[in-house]
């Protein structure tokens, strides 16, 4: 049986996995730069230099500066969803079991979120810079923050409706705790990790949950 030869790549043409790796490395570098300096202060040339590529390569993989900026939020959102979605699903499945089943999962959700923020503090920096310019880049919040916020808020609303816990303002509750934890991540970003501070933040978050919704 005659074997077909594997098609050869054209001269200088990167493999698909190489192209993906290049785009990923550019985005990771860009997230860090935008997180520390904001959109206006970062140029494509700076991103290219930090990623070890030329500006044309950045354009090829991500488009212009605005497209690159939005792609950074897409990367952050995908990573956060991957971390939180399994625990959110566990919480939804626990609803029929009542408070004894749901509250421990809410505590686990908080730990998962803090773990994520501490591992990726540049993601908080990226969002903080964006929030300081609320008139710019419309739609980022709706596409890359509201979906996860909404999932948690709907979970709390469902638990309230079922009489599992009392939460008349889930939207406000979710954002209150998230903002507090983002403040912690900003310290990690600019000052580095600190074991005592990290323990104190987790203690606060769990105490907040217990006082809001009961023991777990």
Residue 216: its pLDDT value, please?
66
CATH code assigned at 90: 1.10.357
How many domains are contained in the chain? Answer: 1
Secondary structure element (H or E) that encloses residue 202, with its range: helix 195-213
pLDDT at 81 over 60: yes
Domain assignment of residue 11, yes or no: no
Mean pLDDT, rounded, for 124-140:
88
Mean pLDDT, rounded, for 32-40:
93
pLDDT band for 137, please (50, 70, 90 cuts): confident
Domain assignment of residue 27, yes or no: no
Tell me which of 1-10, 18-27, 60-69, 80-89 is least confident. 1-10
Using DSSP, state whether 54 is helix, strand or coil: coil
Domain assignment of residue 54, yes or no: no
Mean pLDDT, rounded, for 57-72:
94
Residue 139 to residue 131: CA distance in whole angstroms: 12
Residue 132: its pLDDT value, please?
85
Closest CA to 91 of 103, 78, 82: 103
Domain assignment of residue 16, yes or no: no
Domain assignment of residue 149, yes or no: yes
With beta carbons less than 8 A apart as the criterion, state whether 113 and 208 touch.
Answer: no
Tens-place pLDDT, residues 155-169? 999 999 999 999 999
Domain assignment of residue 62, yes or no: no
Residue 20: its pLDDT value, please?
58
pTM (2 d.p.): 0.85
Residue 19: its pLDDT value, please?
58
Mean pLDDT, rounded, for 50-74:
94
Domain assignment of residue 136, yes or no: yes
Mean pLDDT of the chain: 90
Tell me which of 82-96, 101-115, 185-199 is least confident. 185-199
Give the domain extent around 154: 70-213
Mean pLDDT, rounded, for 148-154:
96
Domain assignment of residue 34, yes or no: no
With beta carbons less than 8 A apart as the criterion, state whether 34 and 126 touch.
Answer: yes
Residue 5 to residue 49: CA distance in whole angstroms: 38
pLDDT at 12 over 90: no
Higher pLDDT pick, 26 / 14: 26
pLDDT at 16 over 80: no
pLDDT band for 45, please (50, 70, 90 cuts): very high
């Amino acid at each position: 049986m005659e074997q077909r030869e594997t098609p050869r790549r054209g001269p200088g043409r990167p493999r698909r996995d190489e192209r993906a790796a290049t785009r990923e490395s550019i985005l990771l570098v860009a997230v860090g730069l935008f997180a520390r300096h904001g959109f206006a202060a970062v140029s494509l040339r700076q991103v290219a230099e930090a990623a070890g590529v030329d500006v044309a390569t950045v354009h090829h993989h991500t488009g212009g500066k605005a497209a690159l900026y939005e792609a950074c939020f897409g990367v952050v959102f995908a990573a956060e969803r991957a971390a939180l979605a399994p625990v959110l699903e566990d919480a939804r499945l626990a609803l029929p079991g009542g408070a004894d089943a749901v509250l421990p999962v809410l505590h686990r959700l908080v730990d998962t979120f803090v773990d994520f923020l501490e591992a990726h503090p540049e993601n908080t920096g990226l969002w903080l810079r964006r929030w300081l310019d609320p008139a710019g880049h419309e739609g980022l919040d709706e596409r890359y923050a509201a979906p996860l916020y909404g999932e948690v808020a709907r979970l709390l609303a469902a638990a309230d409706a079922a009489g599992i816990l009392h939460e008349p303002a889930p939207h406000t509750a979710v954002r209150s705790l998230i903002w507090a934890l983002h403040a912690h991540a900003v310290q990690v970003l600019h000052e580095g990790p600190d074991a005592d501070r990290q323990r104190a933040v987790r203690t606060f978050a769990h105490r907040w949950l217990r006082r809001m919704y009961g023991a777990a």
